[in-house]
Amino acid sequence: MTIDNTTIRQDTHGRYCLNDLHKAAGELRKDRPNYWLSSASTRSLIAELASEADAGNPASPITQPFNTVRGGPNQGSYACKELVYAYAMWISPSFHLKVIRTFDAVATGQVSTALPDFTNPAIAARAWAEEFEGRQEAEQKVLESG
């Protein structure tokens, strides 16, 4: 998934990297994920989501709503979709709308997240380039429509 030309990484549980979202939002110091994570309302939301996951709620597909990876190529703070929405809302109304519209575009198939077949590198490169261009056009249309 890409927001404002920034790829938003996901971990193996499908959580999204808040550090990448921070970058997409403009990387202002005041919008750092650690500031958002330190608020009481954020901690309460994480606790609520965690209790649903612990209770085996089918609406909670992951074990834990939040995880921090320290060190390595995938370091960062990873959060479930609900926390991504809350973080984006905390940053600004306009960024919140971008995030919602991007997630909706992916969910409705307007933007594909599938990777090309890498068995033939030349074909994969062409497919990736076409997908990237199509994704940018689709995201631009989504942003212009709102």
Residues 114 and 56 sit within 8 Å (Cβ to Cβ)? no
pLDDT of residue 34: 95
Q: What's the order of all strands across the beta sheet hosting 66-69?
A: 16-17, 76-79, 66-69
Question: What is residue 123's three-state secondary structure?
Answer: helix
pLDDT, the chain, mean? 83
Determine the average pLDDT of the residues in 121-146. 65
- Given CATH 3.10.260, say whether it is the number of domain 2-112: yes
pLDDT confidence band for 142 (50 / 70 / 90): low
Residue extents of the structural domains in the chain: 2-112
Bridge partners, residue 31, by sequence: none
Torsional class of 109: left (φ above 0), alpha (ψ -120 to 50), beta (otherwise): left
* Strand segments (E) across the chain: 2-3, 6-7, 16-17, 66-69, 76-79
CA distance 146 to 92: 15
Confidence of residue 53 (pLDDT cuts 50, 70, 90): confident
Amino acid at site 125 = A
Tokens of 104: 């909706």
What confidence tens digit (pLDDT) does each residue in 55-114 have?
Answer: 665 554 457 899 999 988 889 999 999 999 999 999 999 999 999 999 998 888 776 555
